[in-house]
Each structure stands twice: as C-alpha cells, then as structure tokens.
Amino acid sequence: MTPQRRFLFVVPPLSGHVNPTAALGRALLDRGHAVAWCGSEMFLRPLLGGEAEIFRTGSKMLREQGAGGEEAVRSLWADFVVPCARFTLAAVDRAIEEFAPDVVISDEHTPAGALAAQRRALPWATLATSSMELGRPFRDRPELDRWILEHLRTLWAKAGLDPADFVDTRASPHLVLALTSPALTGEAAYPPHYALVGPLLGARPAGPAFPWERLDPGRRLVIVTMGTLAADLAADFLRRAAKALGELAGVQGVVVAPPESGLEQVAPADVLVLPRVPLLDLLDAGAVAALVCHSGLNTVTEALAHGVPLVLAPIRHDQPITAAQVEAAGAGRRVDFARADPAEIRRAIEAVLDDPEPRAAAARVAEAFRRDGGLPAAVGRLEAVGTEPGTIRTDQDQGEHA
C-alpha cells in the first residue's frame, strides 16, 4: 500500500526527546503514513525498537555541560546543540534526499532538521520537548537571548541559507508541537500554529525487565529517577533520596541509578536500586504512589497524566521552569537538588503522599491533558502540515506571543 504521507523525525540522543516520538511515530504508521528517524542509531535503536527505520548521523563525543543557571544554558547551546547541528547536517540532508519526506519533524534542540528542510523548501514542524524554548523565555535576559540567536544565525548562514530569510529554528512557522499544557504554562496567547497537546502516551517498544514480584502491595511505591543526562551529577542526590526512602514507614522505594554509582552497596536494605525501570508501564499499572525526579518535562507530564504527584529536584536547563510550573499547579513539592538532606527529602515525599491536595492537583492536570488531546491531536496537527500555504516569519515575529 502506498503511504499517505512521509514523516521524518530528526532527534537528539536524549531519552526524554526520543521517547515521545516512538508513540507518535507508531500512531502515524497506524494511520498509513511512512515514518523514519534521523539520529544516532546506537542511541535510538533501543528506544525505538528493531523495526524502526533509522537514518544514521553517527555519534559525537561532547563536552560536559554547565551545572546550572545561565552557565548551563550557554553550555547546552555552545557544547551540545550547535556542535550536534554542525556534525549532523550533512547526514540529515542525505536522509531527506533518500527518504523524501513530505514533512520534517525537527526537535527544538536539533536545528539540523529545520535547516535541511529549509534548504529543500520542505515544510517542517518543531517538536518542543522541553519548557525552555516556548515563548523566548530569555528575553528578560537580552544578552543571553541575543547570544542564542547569533548562534542560530551563524548555523543558518553556514547551511547556505540567505541571512535575509532567517527563521528561528526553535519555532517552525508551520507548526510548533509542544508536549505540555496551558495547565502548566498558564493561559499565554500562543499563535494558532502552536499546539500544546500534552504528553504523547501510546505504544512504545517493551521497557526494561522489572522485578514485579518484588513489589509489596501493602506499601506505597515511590520511584526516584534523575534522568540519563544528569547521571554524572546525581549520584549524591540519589544517595540522600535512598536514605530518605529507607526512613519512610509503609513505603517501598525504587531508585534508578547506574551500576557505577555504587548505590546498591550503600542503599537501605529494603530500597531497590535498578539501572533502568519501565516507568510508563509502572504508571499504566497504577503502581506508583509518588515520583521523585529532576523535573524533565517528559517524566513530569507522564506522571501527571496518571495523576501521580511529584517531588521535584531540578538541576539545569528547563527543569527549574517545569518545577515552578508544577508547584504553581499544586501538584508537587520542590527540594534543592544540591542541598536538600535526607530529612527534607523525606518530608517532601510525605507531603505528596499524605496531603490530599497534591494528588488532587495532579488529577486536575491529568484532566487538562485529556482536553488538550494528546496523541490524536498531535497526529491531526502533523497531518495538516503542508496542506495549506504557509508563511515564513522572522524570529522577532515568532516571539511576539511571549
């Protein structure tokens, strides 16, 4: 059967950015479309499964990023986003030539997808998988805002595009598909081509094996996960969190930590330490009472979509933004990643477990996500890209809604 349309995802090697595309890609395939991904096959294959069509970009070793604040934002761009764009642009261009997509879906932190699409006059959509780029949040820091835009203008020129036609590649003029909700961002007046659809929950490849038999139905399950990107920074926090879990009566704790962290040797005896967990499977099963995390948007929205309250320990990038949004919604408690001791972490966990308001607030956000439309809404908006004439607007025009 001839596919209806062809969609190419261009994604970075970051789990929270790739996982939503697995569900979205499967939904598009089920609708009769052709779907492929472009990125590091070594990273993508375990997340997407053996059947996914992947155009390889290769992998590039990148420098460690700054720990927090403006330094982390600058290092994200200078040491990750820009080098990746330069390294992958030729491979993305080849993927477009070979796969011949009708629409390119470019993650907000993979400018190569947008640049290659612009070079070939292809419609492209931005996949906004974090809270950091929506609405130009750094315009209150004009020097930082100009610095990011200058990097993007340089990438644009090096891609052979006319500087007079510059478009901020963080925000497609055709569609910005944001995996969040006004329930978190507030009721900002986003342009019509911005679609805040909430998390993309759907079919994904099977998650890692999990010792389900070790779960105690008589205790409330609390999971601690700090994300793959922060594994190097999170070891000490994970130790503090494990100690806090060991002090909680009626709670079963699971801490996600790499083997090299050594946490398994020092964690309390009744706290499970595992290198990976199938978080979405556990949430779907209704097994999770609370989640402690780094405030990555994908992890946060998956938990809230299941009505699970959060303890938030943001580290860098968009995480403080997301944590503040969850706190404002009443669906979580925030602790200091660097300074919170086990007692403070324990009190925050007790608060979201025993105070009914965080769970009620999480349920309200879950209902808002359902109204936002989720996966069906995302598919519908993507299917419409390129079916009507679009206009290219300048970066200044794209930021006016903020």
Rounded Cα gap, residues 305 and 331, in angstroms: 11
Q: How confident is the model at residue 241, as a pLDDT?
A: 95
* 128 in any annotated domain: yes
Q: Which residue has the higher pLDDT, 72 or 216?
A: 216
What are the tens digits of pLDDT across the range 356-402? 999 999 999 999 999 999 999 999 999 999 886 543 333 333 333 33
Residues 148 and 225 in one domain: no
Q: In angstroms, rounded to a whole number, what is the distance separating the alpha carbons of residues 292 and 78?
A: 30
pLDDT value of position 70 = 76
The residue among 320 and 400 whose pLDDT is bigger is 320
pLDDT mean across residues, the chain: 89
Give the number of other Cβ atoms within 10 Å of residue 379's Cβ.
21
Residues 222 and 316 in one domain: yes
| Residues 194 and 102 placed together within one structural domain of the fold | yes
In the block, residue with structure tokens 């070979």: 98
274 lies in which domain range? 212-370
Quick one: pLDDT at residue 385?
Answer: 94
Structure tokens at 136: 């130009």
Q: Which two tokens stand for residue 139?
A: 């315009």
204 falls within a domain: no
Tokens of 245: 């879990």
90 and 194 belong to one structural domain: yes
Query: What average pLDDT does range 178-189 have in this prediction?
Result: 88
Mind giving me the DSSP string for 127-179?
A: EE-SSSSTT-GGGGSHHHHHHHHHHHHHHHHHTT--GGG---TTS-SSEEEES
* 340: in domain: yes
* Same domain membership, residue 219 and residue 333: yes
Q: Residue 230: is its pLDDT beyond 70?
A: no
Whether residues 281 and 383 fall in one domain = no
Strand duo 310-312 + 6-10: pairing: unpaired
- H-assigned helices in 2-81: 15-30, 41-48, 69-76
What pLDDT digit, counting tens, does each position of 47-88 carry? Answer: 999 999 999 998 765 554 445 567 878 888 888 999 999 999
pLDDT per residue as tens digits for the range 260-306: 888 888 888 889 999 989 999 999 999 999 999 999 999 999 999 99
Distance CA 112, CA 81 (A): 9
Residue 61 covered by a domain: yes
Per-residue model confidence (pLDDT) at position 2? 62
Banded pLDDT at 142 (limits 50, 70, 90): confident
Do residues 172 and 266 share a domain?
Answer: no
User: So what's the pLDDT on residue 34?
Assistant: 97
Residues 34 and 183 in one domain: yes
In a domain, 203, yes or no: no
- State whether 33 and 46 are in the same domain: yes
Q: How confident is the model at residue 138 (pLDDT cuts 50, 70, 90)?
A: low
Distance CA 319, CA 293 (A): 10
Q: Evaluate whether residue 1 is within a structural domain.
A: no
Does any domain span residue 206?
no
**Any idea which of 11-20, 47-56, 229-238 has the lowest mean pLDDT?**
229-238
Percent of the chain with pLDDT over 70: 91
CATH assignment at residue 378: 3.40.50.2000
What's the number of domains the chain is made of? 2
Same domain, 116 and 181: yes
Both 314 and 345 in one domain: the answer is yes
Are 105 and 241 within one domain? no
Residue 17 lies in a domain: yes
In whole angstroms, give the CA distance from residue 142 to residue 147: 8
pLDDT by residue (tens digit) across 88-117?
A: 999 999 999 999 999 999 999 999 999 999
Q: What pLDDT, on a 0 to 100 scale, did the predictor assign at position 317?
A: 81
